[in-house]
Amino acid sequence: MRVHVTVNGAQMTADDVWPGESLLYVLRERLGLPGAKNACEQGECGSCTVYLDGVPVCACLVAAGQAEGREVRTVEGLASGAGELDAVQEAFVECGAVQCGFCTPGLIVQAHSLIAAHDGVPPDAEIREHLAGNLCRCTGYEKILDAVRLAARRKAGQ
Amino acid sequence: MDFLRATSWAEALRMKADRPDATPVQGGTDVMVEINLDKGRPAALLDLTPVTELTEWSAESGNIRIGAGVTYTRIIAELADRLPGLAQASRTVGSPQIRNRGTVAGNLGAASPAGDSHPPLLATGAIVEAESVDGLRMIPIGDYYTGVKRNALAANELIRAVHVPVRQGPQYFSKIGTRNAMVIAVCSFGLALNVAERTAGTGIGSAAPTPRRAVEAEAFLAENWNPGDPEVGRRFGELVAAAAAPIDDVRGSRDYRVHALAVMARRTLGWAWEEHRRTS
- Domains of chain A by start residue, with CATH: 3-77 (3.10.20.30), 87-155 (1.10.150.120)
Residue of A nearest to B6 (CA): A66
Q: Which residues of A touch B36 (CB under 8 A)?
A: 22, 41-42, 60-61
Q: Which residues of A touch B5 (CB under 8 A)?
A: 65, 68
pLDDT greater at residue B222 or residue A158: B222
Of A41, A61, A63, the CB nearest to B47: A63
Q: How confident is the model at residue B180 (pLDDT cuts 50, 70, 90)?
A: confident
Model ipTM value: 0.97
Percent of chain A with pLDDT over 70: 100
Percent of chain B with pLDDT over 70: 100
Q: Mutation target for B interface from A58, A62, A74, A128: give the one with most B CBs within 10 A.
A: A58
pLDDT value of residue A158: 83
Domains of chain B, each with CATH number or no CATH: 57-165 (3.30.465.10), 171-279 (3.30.390.50)
Percent of chain B with pLDDT over 90: 97
Total number of residues shown for chain A: 158
Q: How confident is the model at residue A125 (pLDDT cuts 50, 70, 90)?
A: very high
Concatenating the DSSP letter of every residue in A53-116 gives TTEEEEGGGSBGGGGTT-EEE-GGGSSSSTT---HHHHHHHHHT--SS-SSHHHHHHHHHHHHH
pLDDT value of residue B107: 98
Structure confidence by residue, pLDDT tens digits, B62-93: 999 999 999 999 999 999 999 999 999 999 99
pLDDT value of residue B280: 83
- Does the CB of A41 have a partner CB in chain B at under 8 Å? yes
Of A18, A44, A60, the CB nearest to B32: A60
Q: For residues A81 and B111, what is the distance between their CA atoms, to the nearest angstrom? A: 46
Structure confidence by residue, pLDDT tens digits, B200-225: 999 999 999 999 999 999 999 999 99
Three-state SS at B4: strand
Q: For residues B234 and B126, what is the distance between their CA atoms, to the nearest angstrom? A: 27
**B163 touches B189 (CB < 8 A):** no
Percent of chain A with pLDDT over 90: 96
